[in-house]
Structure 1
Amino acid sequence: MKSSDLVLDFIEKNCSYTTLFQSLQDRKPLGIQAEDIQQALGIVRNNASTILNQLHKKGQLIKINSRPVTFIAKKNFQKFFQDHSSESKETYTLNELTAILQASSSKDDPFSHLLGSNGSLANQISQAKAAIVYPPDGLHTLLLGASGVGKTTFAAAMHAYGLHVHKKKSDEFPFVTFNCADYFNNPQLLLSQLFGHTKNAFTGASQDKVGLVEKANGGILFLDEIHRLPPDGQEMLFYLMDKGEYNRLGESSSRRKANLLIIAATTENPNDSLLTTFKRRIPVTINLPTFNQKPIFERIEIVDHFFKYESINLNRSITLAPEVLKALAIYTFKTGNIGQLRSEIKLLCANAFLQYLQDNQTIYIDFSLLNKDIKEGMFHLEKLDSETKHYLSMFSENIVISPDKEKNDYPFELLNNDIYDQMSTKLTDLRRQGLNNDTIHEVLKKDVDEYFSCILKNIHTTQSNIQTLYKVIPKEIVDTTVKLVEFAEHQLATKFKDKFIFGLCFHIHALLKRLNTNPIMPTPQLSKIQVEHLKEFQVSQAIIKKLEKIFHTSIPLSEQGFLALLLSQNKLDAVINNYIGIVIICHGNSTASSIAAVANTLLNTAWLKAIDMPLSTAIDETYKKFRSVAISVHRGRGLLLLVDMGSLVDFGKRLTEETGIQVSVIESISTPLALELLRKVLYKTDELDTIYNSILSNKFLPVTANRRLAILSVCITGEGASKMVKDILETTLQKKYRQIFDIIVTNYLDVKKEYSKLQATHNFIAAIGNIDPELDIPYFPIGQLMEESGRKKFWALLNTSLPASPQENLTILKSNDIYDKACLLLEKYVKYINPKVAIKHIKTFINDIQYSSKNDEQLLDFTVHLGCMLDRCIHRDAIYFENIRQFKQDHLVIFSTIRTAITSLEKSYDIQINDDEVCYIIKLIEVHA
């Protein structure tokens, strides 16, 4: 007999269908590994491994990707898939097999519809199932839990499970409910409801009455608030449980028979409210957790579920602010629990729907709609445990709940997107078409974005949680992905979009599965990705090393570039973590909102909040609006409040007394003042008191007698582009305004050190150049200044600080081509190069280093910088780069790339371009990344 036949026979006999099924149920390892073959058949382990893989390739064995890899006989495996209605494949993970088993067993399981069935209610459901199926007729059960935790719903699920496992219809297995509190003040009537009565049994009993016990015969009698049942009623019940017999009230001669299961529920301590003899006859006690005892992901899921229900009722989408979701999820319900939560959500939706009927906009649930107690719960956010805070931090965008009547609980199973297959096929097609590498790179980059978008659009944000992922993806991959996302956020000093963790988890799962089949991976232009996304590329390298170490595999280089693209494309555009809140309140119909609109528009934000106070509005009504706005914008650093007059001044003190939020009130309002405050809040890290005191001392007001207005002209070197900006502005401003403005020329490194000194003599309105100095003033790239929209925005910003408005006459560059615009600029300001010829060489250099800008403004700035660099080098004007040795050491790869490519420019102009210039080029690329 051949060795392969011996091995196959051994596996078929020692890994039967029954063994497989039992191992999966018990979550134990399954299958035969090479070492088992060596011990049982004496075949050397390496040879055994070879035989096992050969049998797998022939389709006779199924491979289980575990540690170590194991195999089971396909012949035995077929029955498993027939029993569980699933198609077979050649390779599985243990989690995939377990999921198939669970899906099959829970497909008709009523308990699977309870939120938390695999989490906080898992043990309780196991108890309940055992109580229902225990022979011969089940076990009586007592449900304990605070009001509103869902005891009635749980009892109904027990009944539904009984119908399912006993294969009975409702009339064969009835479910009768009774609340003992309904007749608490009339014990005789209560007992009559339960057991029935005969005619004339008591005053008013005009005829015989059938009791609930008789109606529940053969099924379940659910008695809510059982502690309201009087002692004699409890005695009658435990006699029924003992003997299966009872009497109607007024009936003494004959005994009636009833065979039923009693499920009782109470909010009280059973030791204090129930007879000991009664408790002894209820063998199963199930404690149901309160809303706040559930893990945070379940609470989010419950909130989402109730909003989903209302969305279906309204047949319209509901949009809610992320703070609403968080506030409801962390609120401590003292009495109502899930029941109170549902009522609160109904009320929120009703109020939002009323607003929708008035303005015909979207049904939007804002933080201000929450009641006072729930809103104030957000003040305790920082006191929560780190796991809860981390989970809640994922919700930073508005959540849209759609009225889809069915929502797949496992969205990942619907996705069949293999990015590597797509890229391999696309790469072959593009090369066959003769396209150049740059074009191929851009096409594949777009495919990456579409691939990840496809994953994310199938993920319903609030239903996506770690427990959901565990159902379909191995736990080790899920937990690893969570840690990798935290690592990337820390390294890149950023936050990722809400769904990124779920999409990346699915991607890593697909990647590891693909590596097992030894794929041929497409290799994109790593150098270009590295230049475009240097920081993300470095982080992706570290992530790849971690994945290789954890999963004992080798990951191709192409994945580094691919992962770098995912990291760069899924950052949040703006993350507001700890800005000081800023609110403006004015008397009048639109004064406050008008000032806020100007300031917000000029600084490209929406952080300044405004409240208009028409003269007909009551002061308390305005305060309530202010209080809601203040709570919604408060980030733990206090609040600046600008008011015009009257009792508005007291709002700050009142809010501090009620909420503890520190408020500094400024009794003055003007557009320049609002703009200056907003600048300080957005661009500074100063504390509330520092900003407030600076305003009181007039130190930072837009115009002062001691400080001149100024515009900062900055480029990475301090030469070329910054002087170009100065020349443009000096020829643009009318003569009388040139006397008002100073234009300060500087470089990126010096301005960081000297800015505070410059502020002593100048009040800077804006910075213009080819690199953002990241100061407390708005920044305009040169290219934006040459466009009409950018020019108007810049001029509007200046006008807020000028005594009058000059006529703008900045020249608009008519050409739509970026290089043509750069050429026109260089023609005016360089002395030693022919810009038209230089642009051709610069374009070649840019292509050689595979530089890719995010927008036309960056490309224009980069091109102008290179033109000014050539002009400097021809004239031998040396520049200096600080700490060049360390910088080169930190950027070895990209420095080598730029140093090699720049030789073409050196040869074209017979010049030497020193390493300092190369480092400035790298710095500019980094800033643009």
Structure 2
Amino acid sequence: MALSAKEKLFQNILTHYADHTAGFTAQDCADFMQVNRSVISHYLNRLCDDGKLQKDNTRPVRFFVRQAEALSQPRSTLVSKNSDAFSQLIGAEGSLAEIVSLCRSAVDYPTHGLPVLLSGESGVGKSHLASLIWQYAVERGVISGDKPFIELNCADYANNPELLSATLFGYTRGAFTGADREKRGAFDEADGGFLFLDEVHRLSAENQEKLFLFMDKGYFYRLGDNRTRHPAALRFIFATTENIDTVLLNTFRRRIPVRVALPNYISRPLTERIAQVSHFLHAEAASLRRDIHLDTQLMHQLVMSPVRGNIGELKNQIKVMAASAWSDQRQSPFITLHTPRPSGEVLVIPAREKLAGLDTAALLPKAMRDDVILREFCHSGNILLLNRKMEQLLTTIHGILDQEALYSGYLWQNTMHAINELEGLTGIECGQELRKAIWLCLIQALHVEHNADEVNELLAVTEYVSCKARLLAETCVNLLVKHVADRPLPILLPLLSCALNKPAGDDDAIQGVIVSHGRSTASSIAGVANQLTGGYYFKAFDMPYSTSTREIIDLLIAHLAALKPGAGLIILVDMGSLKEIYEEIKLHLHGELLVINNVSTAMALDIAGKIQHQLPMEEIIESVKGAYEPETRYYAGILPGNKIIISCISGEGISRKLKDILSRYLAREEIDIVTMEYDDLKWKIARDDPALNGTRLIITTTDLEAGYIPLLSVEQLIKEKTQVLRRDYFTDLLMEDSLEPMVEEVVKLFTVEGVASRLNFLNPVIIIDEVESVIKQYEAFYKIHFESYLRINLFMHIALMIERVMVNTGMRHRDDAALTLEQQAFVAVNDTFFQALNRKYHLAVPLTEVLMIYEIMEPWIATEAV
């Protein structure tokens, strides 16, 4: 049903003024509706009668949208002003808002608009923004939809300015050798539309002059004809990666009034980087028709790491990662993307649903700002009311608010990590509603800039909060900046002081501080004490090892300003001059002071309990005298390592063979290799027998729990990566570069044992040596080293294949199969590797058998090497 004139007016008012506290006049509406002011006044008064608007008695009369009406409107109504081509640009209402505003102005400027120059590093999105400017112009009706957007990269013609001139302006017949007919140029093609010249700094001075002459006159000449004028009406967008002051002529530069510089990727706000990464991931998920399960560690890497090629390169990186994962996980119902050391936490990027479910908080516009809600909260500290009103505000923006989407995603997960760390550090329990309140305050701070005056105004109305709550809030803000944000968020301090005021409780008569050198020593001790006592009794300061006593004193003096006036202070330090600390601090403290060094967890826990029970300082001092003397006892330890034990469940025979192999590669003569019966070893381990003292390593054919002694099974020895084996088991035990040959001998040993039980007539020892020669030729040809378990597979398969072929039972069911190029190449070189075996055993290896060897090796060999 078509809207009435009154309803259309109201919808436009909601678009322009729903969140304006200053109101609007009839003339304001007449301007954007392009309707006579008296008609507008009539409709405005009727809307007041309907209860949708209210007005004051000023001159001119100002009208206001009733809040209930504004809140009842879905987001699609409220943001229709920005629902244009630029609304798809991430950051259009954030860091790029001024740029978008300039671009809109350039398009809307009367007659033919204004030329626009886009500058910025490669990959920041200049081409994308240029195409959006054209789309916006079509939407606004300043150009018709059939008018083109012509893009030309001047760098393609940098070494041939004449060719570029011909491409831009066209040429006449005979203008140059080969010009056998007249040809139109880019100016003709773009007539009525837009011409986008990328890398404009590669234009020669002569072509720059031709351009600005056209911008002045409105016509141009074709190459080879200086008489015939060719008029054209086109709009220009230029782009460059260079400093325009040094690469463009002044006369040309002066004719481009609108210049915008696009920021590089890493300087964009965190929320926009998250939205950008999310957008590209969602595009890949949709393209592959699979949900993507993204490890949060990889998300952090994509969001926080500088990208040389900016957004363009970021898009390519994500596409390559997705393509690689798709190749390996084609049969999986979803695609998993992760780093080599995944965190285990996963974000799900849906293939079909809209992206908003991934990180709603990263995609919110500036329209979510509401200072009234924040001021009311700072007055009341009511987190339930804050949560309800903030969710109501978000409903205003998004229409129907997806609660699950709001409280999920990368930002939400990182915020929960910060709150978990806050709980562990301070002993304060943060329930679900408090977590929501902290989260909603954070996304307000991330999306809306607040100046110093606004922050101070909120601080002024939070004087009722306790000093402990302010300290808690300060700690929480620091953790949120560490885990979530990449910039200071000063507005959070007053907001979180109010949110944490009730959980913090009243200020204690005595405050506690722990100062210790090390990355997290003080935090760990304070965290244990605070958690076990269930309160925030110790503030932790982790100091670098190079910090002097003087610097510690300055830190503590600065901290005194945050304490309740007149409160006592207990300072626990790990080292430093107690006298110097006491004398300096006492001058700035109006309460009692106790300083104790050699801080420990037990000491902090004991004193936290005394503060919790509100013991006076005198009683605490008396109770701690002599209470923390160290207790010393000596116990004989394990002898220095000088022994390796080998034990095999199948008997001494294999143990002795393993000992022979290992002894050839030992780096230290004083290391003894001892073989031991398996049951005997289990008995000694169970009883912690002294005979095991000095054991550096136990090697067995089966897994066994060996307590404090490192134990390596033969399966691990064969399958584990060499760097892990060297680091965890063989440090300082083997000669340099001897681990791989030792493992190869072990592989060969166990291959001989396995093959011997399956061969009918070939000598296993001889055939294994011969097969090893073939395998080494494969490795040399493909320039790789096969992992141990693959070597065992090849040893077994090729040895048994030779025996099959010798008795004419070789497999042939694929001898007539069509081969891929890779298979053809493998078959061609395979005969070379088998020459010696073919001569000795008179073999003719069937194609099917060759293909089976290829399939075993296929995942390991690079096809480009074939």
Q: TM-score, normalised by structure 2?
A: 0.41
Q: TM-score, normalised by structure 1?
A: 0.39
